């Protein structure tokens, strides 16, 4: 059973925008850290951003700061990743993940308990 579902991926030209969504089925995000990771072809998966769903604290990899914005909607139990100014090197499968204690290492995959199946983002040059 996969309790997280990502959506919103697609094909966009360089400079375009996409908003990814991460919704939960079976768990509520209260008390969880929700992270976004991505994996490009032939590369290791890397951290993108994270939000403490209850506190609203946000974290970003330095290369994504200013272009990506993570947010949450408590009523919808959903986390979003707004991506602006997309570049071809942002092409990857984007995954969301949920963990209860990621505050000390939000970019560490092993701290996340649940993972979605990913959504493809392709940025054309």
pLDDT at res. 2: 61
- Token look-up 């579902």 returns 5
Segment 23-55, tens digit of pLDDT? 998 889 999 999 999 999 999 999 999 999 999
Torsion sign over Cα 110, 37, 72, 70: positive
pLDDT in tens, 83-96: 999 999 999 999 99
């Amino acid at each position: 059973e996969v309790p997280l579902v990502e959506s919103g991926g697609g094909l966009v030209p360089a400079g375009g925008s996409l908003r990814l969504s991460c919704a939960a089925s079976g768990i509520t995000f209260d008390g969880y850290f929700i992270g976004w990771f991505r994996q490009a072809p032939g590369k290791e998966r890397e951290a993108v951003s994270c939000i403490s769903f209850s506190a609203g604290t946000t974290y970003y990899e330095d290369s994504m700061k200013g272009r990506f914005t993570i947010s949450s909607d408590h009523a919808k139990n959903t986390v979003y990743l707004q991506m602006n100014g997309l570049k071809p090197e942002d092409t990857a499968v984007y995954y969301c993940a949920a963990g209860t204690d990621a505050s000390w290492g939000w970019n560490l995959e092993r701290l996340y308990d649940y993972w979605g199946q990913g959504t493809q983002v392709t940025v054309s040059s």
